[in-house]
Each structure stands twice: as structure tokens, then as C-alpha cells.
Amino acid sequence: MSCRSLPVLDILNPGTAHGTVLKLSEPLSFWGGFNPVDGRIIDQSHPEVGKSITGTILALPGSRGSAGTPGGVAEALRRNVGPVAILLAQPDVNITIGAQVADHLYATETPVLALAEIEFAWLETGMQVTVSDVGVAIKEDGGIKS
């Protein structure tokens, strides 16, 4: 078997993308906790502070706090410093609206998918994945758990 496929709980924003997973261990606020100019996490209390999310398949539990998250997501996508796809452990309105607005205004295509927690748990930083409307395909040589 060359691939493992994770089923999708819900397609929050449609699209296809492939890339390398960056998995965050905690939710992120895209306003205040993230810099939409350079794509880096700036929340000093966040475990992945300092990491760049640019070009990644960003896997995270959800967004935190601020109603500014949609603006932060849209601004990062406008500047091409956002992720190429977002995978969530539960549906998230603020992240989805940010991606949907960017896709409409800037003709980007940033899939946002919600996975069941048990499927989300399979994802690890460094995995090569393809995201589409049918699911998340993980390449076997991308560091999959055996």
C-alpha cells in the first residue's frame, strides 16, 4: 500500500492542494497570535511559536479567541504567506470564512476540511499529503505511523 486515505468529516471550503503537513498542538488566534505579513506564529505561549505556516498543509485543532481570525487568514492568503490547505479537528467558522473571502477576492483556492478526531490524530508534521474533496491522502514514505 503506497497511500493511506483519511475520510473527511466535512468540506468547509472546497479545493485541492498538496504539500507537507505542519501540525499545531494547540488552537491558534490568527489575529494577535499570528503575523499575516510574514506567516509566522507570534503567540509567545503557543508551543509552535516562531514557526512559519507559509505553503504548509496546516493541521490544527481550531482557532482561538479573537473575531479577527477571518481577517488574519484572508490577509495571509492575499500576501501568499498562508497555508495551501487547512485541516481541522472540528469545524471552525472563523477560519472557514477567512479562506472563503480570500478565495472570492483573490481567486485563491484554499481547501479547509474538518476531520474526525480519530482521523486527525493520524496527521504528523512532515507528512506529504494531497487534500481534495474526497479526503486526505497520505504518502507512505511521508512518515506515516505503522
Partner 1 sequence: MRKTVQTVSGKPLNLSDYEQALLEGEAGEAMQFVMQLVVRAARIMDAPRLLETDYLHMDACHYYGRAHLDFARYLVNSNIRFGIRAWTNTVPASLIQKEVREEADAVVLKEARELADLYIAMGAKPVWTCAPYQLPGSPVFGEHIVVAESNAVSYFNSVIGARTNKYGDFLDVACGLTRRVPEAGLHTDKGRRAQIHIDLAKVPEELRETEFFCHVLGHLMGRVSGNRIPVITGLPAKTPKDSLKALAAAGAASGAIGLYHAVGITPEAPTLEAALQDRPAEAFYRVTPRNLVEARDSLSTTAGGSVDMVALGTPHFSFTEFARLMPLLDGRKIHSDVAFYVSTSRHVAALATQKGWIEALEKAGVTVLVDTCTYFTPAVRGCKGQVMTNSAKWAYYAPGMLPVKVAFGSLRDCVESAVRGEVARDPTTWSARHWGVSE
Chain residues in the site for partner 1 (CB under 8 A): 9-10, 12-13, 31-32, 36, 65-72, 74-75, 77-78, 91-94, 96-98, 100-102, 104-106, 114
Which amino acid makes up residue 23? K
DSSP letter assigned to residue 73: H
**Least CB distance to partner 1 at residue 36 (A):** 6
CA 45 → CA 8, 38, 60, distances in Å? 30, 19, 16
66 given a catalytic annotation? yes
Q: Residue 134 and residue 80: Cα distance in Å, rounded?
A: 25
Q: Residue 87 and residue 101: Cα distance in Å, rounded?
A: 18
By beta-carbon proximity to partner 1, the closer residue of 5 and 108 is 108
The string of DSSP codes covering 114-134 is E--HHHHTT--TT-EEEEETT
**Least CB distance to partner 1 at residue 5 (A):** 21
Which amino acid makes up residue 66? S
**Least CB distance to partner 1 at residue 61 (A):** 14
By beta-carbon proximity to partner 1, the closer residue of 15 and 36 is 36
By beta-carbon proximity to partner 1, the closer residue of 98 and 138 is 98
Q: Hey, which residues are catalytic here? A: 66
